Amino acid sequence: MISGPQQFPNFDICPTCFDTSIKPTAYARFFSRSPPKPETMATQCDFSNLWVRIAWVWLFSQSASDASLLGMITAIQVPEGPCPNSQAEKAGEKPTATRQWFCLSNPRTGALIEDLTICSHCIAHIETILPPMRGVFGAAAGGASCPATCDLMVPNSQRSLSYINQIVEVAEKTLKTGYLDLTPAAEYIEKYALLPECPKNNTVKNVGCYSMPSSVPEFTVCQECYNEVILSEVQKEAPLARQVSTAPSIPPDGFSCQLYSPRTRQFWQDSLTTGDAGLLRQKVTERKQKQMELTRKADQLTLTYHQQKMQAKHHNEMMLIETRTAMHSARTWQATTGVIRPVSLHTLVDCLEICS
């Protein structure tokens, strides 16, 4: 718990996170061990909350006088409830909700950039952690409730983290210069908000991608990575970049991005320097073959795990049947003879293990 100067008794941090993140710093003196909680009360480490970790980095970078910000973050509540993404069941999912939404303004036009929508719960966290951003976000739809999705706190989304980084950078520059400049964040949002997020190694369907059908048909690139890596080379009229399709198309069997990692981007850069499409194809083919091999091994391990799990379940069921049969025979013997029939020590041990 946070014990000073303002107390937050409901702030919980596990020993591992405390020892690795808090204890080595000067903020350790503001924490104390919480009293034992009831056995029926489930407890979660608050450092598992991404907003808490963002707040920790911010207060540390700003040399805050105490750790109260962490407790303030865990205490945030808004009338509309938590971020809809807290109910997401899989990576990248953004559940639709009808509530009030907020957007960043375009500093050139003053209009809201409605391609990025943020829920009131996330706005409360942003304004609590980053004071320079208070009042910066405008209410969409004139403040009326409407159906939309939150683009922050999306599970396993690098794009979501990039949006947060943009907002943090605006706050940092504002503190340094005394001038609020939303231009970099607005430009980033306008550039990427409408693009599908890079799928990385995951195969996605019904999504457009760029390719090199004539020279490296195995090479598929998402729209996000195309904008980040290839577009500038196309504008320079680099020979290899000109072999990339000029518009995205939707592969019938889906695609995974071949240009998301630093390693594959280095393959692209090497081939770009030499103009050798054959080198790029060799590297992409080798990578795909390795990926298929790893996928096959992972599938085999998964199959083996489920088989062993079923075998263990069957073994436990058979042991339980044998144990119940032995116990029933013992009770029957006792009822008819008045003498307790001996039961194997191993049988009793197995019974205790199964029942436990």
Task: Dump pLDDT digits (tens) for 44-63.
Answer: 899 999 999 999 999 999 99
pLDDT at 242 over 80: yes
Percent of the chain with pLDDT over 90: 65
pLDDT at 310 over 80: yes
pLDDT score for 334: 59
pLDDT at 1 over 90: no
If you average pLDDT over residues 109-136, what whole number do you get? 95
If you average pLDDT over residues 230-250, what whole number do you get? 94
pLDDT score for 331: 65
pLDDT score for 347: 47
Query: In degrees rounded to 5, what are phi and psi of residue 213?
Result: -60, -30
Which residue spans within the chain are E strands per DSSP? 97-99, 101-103, 118-119, 138-139, 146-148, 209-212, 216-222
pLDDT at 103 over 50: yes
Judged by average pLDDT, the poorest of 192-196, 241-245, 268-272, 351-355 is 351-355
pLDDT at 339 over 90: no
Q: If pLDDT is split at 50, 70 and 90, which confidence band does 343 have?
A: very low
Joined tokens for residue 117: 């929508």
pLDDT at 162 over 90: yes
The residue type at 160: S
Nearest to 152 by CA among 183, 189, 191: 189
Tell me, yes or no, if the pTM score tops 0.85.
Answer: no
Question: Tens of pLDDT along 166-187?
Answer: 999 999 999 999 999 999 999 9
pLDDT score for 335: 56
Cα angle at 141 between 138 and 145, to 5 degrees? 105
Query: Between residues 266 and 355, which one has the greater pLDDT?
Result: 266
Nearest to 129 by CA among 175, 81, 179: 175
Rounded to the nearest integer, the mean pLDDT of the chain is 88
pLDDT at 43 over 90: no
Between the alpha carbon of residue 176 and those of residues 132, 133, 179, the distances in Å are 11, 14, 8
pLDDT at 333 over 70: no
pLDDT at 269 over 90: yes
- Cα four-point dihedral sign 189, 223, 262, 251: positive
pLDDT at 131 over 90: yes
